[in-house]
Amino acid sequence: MLIASVATVVIIGGLAAAVVLSPGWARVRSSFFDPDEARRSFHPILEGFWLNVRMFLIAEPIILVAGLAIALARQARSPWLLPLRGLAVVYTDVVRGVPTILLVFLFVFGVPGLKLEGLTNSIFFWATVALVVSYSAYVAEVFRAGIESVHPSQVTSAEALALTRGQSMRYVIVPQALRRVIPPLLNDFVSLQKDTALVASVSLFDSLFTARDMAAYDFNYTPYVVVACFFIVITVPLARLCDWLSRWVVRRERAGVL
């Protein structure tokens, strides 16, 4: 306990001293950690951040549903669904290969460029679509890994009870898979929450774009640090929730057995 405390103080203190005693610290402090600038930018960035949060809250449920649907399509064995299965494979391969920021460009600038009747040109809408497309491919792979991790004897057992393949997926395989993928899924949530900042690149007034605007106006980088703090405030509790949930699943199903 004592050793741990001393080691922590020495290491943290050493790092802090290295930063604070560096020759350029005064410059860095005034351009990144200016309290006045932070105060001034707080409210505009908070408003921008609300856009990031909204985008996350809208995209996440759609991603979960789409991801599971794609994963299930990949598991389909019925000959009727074979084309769907091929499509799911191509989708995950292609989408995961394209950087998310390029998907944002493609959807925000590309789709309205098609000049199709009845489609919105809203940047917010198409940026959200881009995130949904990108993340549903990742989440589908997480679900697939979960589904494939369920022991084949469970499938045999369901078959022996004369369940259909759909029923054994619905009642036996998927529920077990879902419990196992909660931690990696939450990891993707955290990552998605951060990636909502990519929409700053298409001039949407989210927190990062607001910060960039202010930084350019005042020649001061403090707004960027403020944005970082906002993201940390959201993502750290998410990460803790993730740890807690995975422990809860273990406790619930292995109760009494160690």
Partner 1 sequence: MNERPLIEVRNLRKTYGSRVVLDDISLAVSRGDVVCLIGSSGSGKSTLLRCLDLLEPIDDGVIEFEGREVSDPGVDPRDVRREIGMVFQAYNLFPHRTVLANCTLAPRKVHGLSRRAARSRAVELLGRFGLGEHVDVHPDQLSGGQQQRAALVRALCTEPKLLLLDEITAALDPELVGDVLGIVRDLAAAGTTMVLATHEMAFAREVASRVCFLDGGRVLESGPPEQVLGDPVEPRTREFLRRVLPA
Nearer to partner 1 by Cβ, of 116 and 160: the residue is 160
Contact letters (x/-) for partner 1, 201-220, by CB under 8 A? --------------------
- Which of 156, 191, 216, 236 touches partner 1 (CB under 8 A)? 156
The CA–CA distances, whole Å, from 152 to 82, 141, 149, 157, 236 equal: 22, 19, 9, 9, 37
- Number of residues engaging partner 1 in binding (CB under 8 A): 23
The CA distance from 80 to 222, in Å, is: 57
The CA–CA distances, whole Å, from 194 to 60, 176, 200, 236 equal: 13, 29, 12, 12
At 229 the three-state DSSP class reads helix
- Which of 121, 122, 157, 203 touches partner 1 (CB under 8 A)? 157
Asked if 190 contacts 156 with a C-beta cutoff of 8 angstroms, the reply is no
CB of 164 to partner 1, least distance (A): 7
Asked if 246 contacts 183 with a C-beta cutoff of 8 angstroms, the reply is yes
- Count CB-CB contacts under 10 A for residue 253: 10
Binding status of residue 160 toward partner 1 by CB under 8 A: yes
The CA–CA distances, whole Å, from 25 to 18, 21, 109, 223, 228 equal: 10, 7, 41, 18, 20
Binding status of residue 30 toward partner 1 by CB under 8 A: no
Binding status of residue 149 toward partner 1 by CB under 8 A: no
* DSSP code of residue 172: I
Cα 175 vs. chain centroid, distance in angstroms? 22
CB of 256 to partner 1, least distance (A): 5
CB of 254 to partner 1, least distance (A): 6
- Which of 53, 58, 69, 163 touches partner 1 (CB under 8 A)? 163
Contact letters (x/-) for partner 1, 238-257, by CB under 8 A? --------------xxxxxx
Site for partner 1 in 164-203 (CB under 8 A): 164, 167, 171-172, 175-176, 179
Nearer to partner 1 by Cβ, of 98 and 150: the residue is 150
Cα 45 vs. chain centroid, distance in angstroms? 20
What is the binding site for partner 1 (CB under 8 A)? Answer: 153-154, 156-164, 167, 171-172, 175-176, 179, 252-257
